[in-house]
Structure 1
Amino acid sequence: MGVYVYTSDMRASEKAYLTLLEEIQSGALPSGAVLAEASQAERLGVSRTPLREALRRLVADGLAVQQSPRVTVVAGLDADDIRSLFEIRRALEETAARLAAQRGDRGAFTALAAEFSHVDLDGDEGRDAYYALIARLDAEVDASHGNDYLTSALRPVRTHLVRVRRMARDKPERLAASASEHLQIARALASGDAELAAHATHVHLHNALTGILDSLQQQRTLDSEGTP
């Protein structure tokens, strides 16, 4: 087994990458924001070498775009991007749910279903806890289906999905529906019914995409109405 030695630059690069990733996913760094090397390195307290490595990782993730050798910006995210994301997400997550229902620990999914039946969506703290619960369900599905290739394919999709989910945070009715849909997914997984689990996942993804696209349309309407 090889021994990996982590240098200070590698640690600094990881710190810069994780910070920028969180800021892009949270919207603190919006689409089109310029990630200037000098200012970002100073702000994050790292040198330019690890900062460049962090930016390269974000470009590889599809979260940033290299517009020129010296200009990197946060990647855009429009309706077509979101539709494309959900096309691949639907194929992967329905397959993952089907396999997890066949192979997984029903007791673990039963426990998760119980938590989904009592989620509290009031305030940022409750919503953050809800998204953390979704992440735990995803992790249990990944552990259950046991297909490393499927897990690897889902990882970048879920990275982008964090940005997309922001669009639902301020829509209480959609969050409540989402919690109910996740409850049905968890119950289907707990029952070991592969087709029901895949169908429940399909329904959730369809409703999620519809809600997100509606939010985008409403925002475009507001923006156009606000234009002199």
Structure 2
Amino acid sequence: MRASDKAYEELRTDIVEWRLRPGAVLGEVEQAERLGVSRTPLREALARLVADGLAVQQRGRGAVVSDVSLEHIDDLFALRRALEIESARIAARRADPAVFTDLRTRFLDAGKGADPESRESFYHLAAELDHRIDAAVANPYIQQSLRSLRVHLARVRRLAQDDPARLAVSALEHAAIAEGIAARNPDIAAAATQLHLHHSLEHIKAHSGTREDT
């Protein structure tokens, strides 16, 4: 992996996981030393973060982690619905049913624990479902659009405080999506996706607030 790619991936993860909070200054010297890269690849990584909307350039401060706002959450979910519902339909026609049958079973067992490790395992499983759907769809334009969108949604999701009760329900919703795809039924897969996105949006609106340091 190139040094600039390494720096980009690590900074991107730190921003999404709130280890680097909104407003944090991404000082070139400090971050280059922390990540073990020189300043040239770090500048390339920072430029990519700015292009992604995860950082902004401020006069006199350099790159700063961008703010997270719920102001445009409806717009984000409008795009998410368009992309993910259509993706579920396509996946139901193209995907290997065995893969999604297995995912359904794993989702039914997921999201039961309240400890951080269980929550992280659930997020990894949800990301695997996304990856499997993307692979079945095999549309690079949809994949690129979703990749950018998911980064911002992950940051917004963290504002809702990773509520264990919501994660348990979300696991069942994901299981229903996987079940619809495994059954090769585009209408069921699309309806399950639409229901999940509706509940996700309502939960974020109802439970988001100022995130405290932990």
TM-score scaled to structure 2, two decimals?
A: 0.91
* Greater mean deviation of Cα atoms: 173-182 or 153-162: 153-162
Aligned partner of 2:200 in structure 1 is: 208
Which amino acid counterpart does residue 199 of structure 2 have in structure 1?
A: N
Q: Deviations over 1:73-127 (max 9, x none)?
A: 1111111233222121111000100111111111211111111111144212211
Aligned partner of 1:177 in structure 2 is: 169
Distance, in Å, in 2 between the alignment partners of 1:103 and 1:170 is 33
Q: Is the 8 A contact 1:181 1:200 kept in 2?
A: yes
1:1-228 to 2 correspondences below 5 Å: 11-68=2-59, 71-122=62-113, 123-216=115-208, 219=209
SS at match of 1:72: strand
Distance, in Å, in 2 between the alignment partners of 1:155 and 1:139 is 10
Distance, in Å, in 1 between the alignment partners of 2:174 and 2:111 is 14
SS at match of 2:40: helix
Aligned partner of 1:3 in structure 2 is: none
Q: Deviations over 1:148-183 (max 9, x none)?
A: 221122111122222223234531111111111111
TM-score scaled to structure 1, two decimals?
A: 0.85
Distance, in Å, in 1 between the alignment partners of 2:76 and 2:29 is 32
For structure 2, the residue ranges without an aligned partner over 5 or more in a row are: none
* Greater mean deviation of Cα atoms: 160-169 or 44-53: 160-169
Percent of aligned pairs with the same residue?
49
SS at match of 1:119: coil
Q: Tell me by how many angstroms 1:211 deviates.
A: 0.8
Q: Is the 8 A contact 2:77 2:201 kept in 1?
A: yes
- Root-mean-square deviation over aligned CA pairs: 2.0
Q: Tell me by how many angstroms 1:186 deviates.
A: 0.8
Q: Is the 8 A contact 2:94 2:136 kept in 1?
A: yes
Structure label with greater radius of gyration: 1
Distance, in Å, in 1 between the alignment partners of 2:104 and 2:51 is 35
Q: Is the 8 A contact 1:121 1:130 kept in 2?
A: no
Which amino acid counterpart does residue 180 of structure 1 have in structure 2?
A: L
User: Would you say how many aligned residue pairs link Structure 1 and Structure 2?
Assistant: 211
Distance, in Å, in 1 between the alignment partners of 2:61 and 2:160 is 34
* Greater mean deviation of Cα atoms: 87-96 or 76-85: 76-85
Distance, in Å, in 2 between the alignment partners of 1:43 and 1:104 is 42
For structure 1, the residue ranges without an aligned partner over 5 or more in a row are: 1-5, 224-228
Distance, in Å, in 2 between the alignment partners of 1:13 and 1:121 is 38
Higher helix share: 1
* Greater mean deviation of Cα atoms: 90-99 or 62-71: 62-71
Distance, in Å, in 1 between the alignment partners of 2:122 and 2:65 is 27
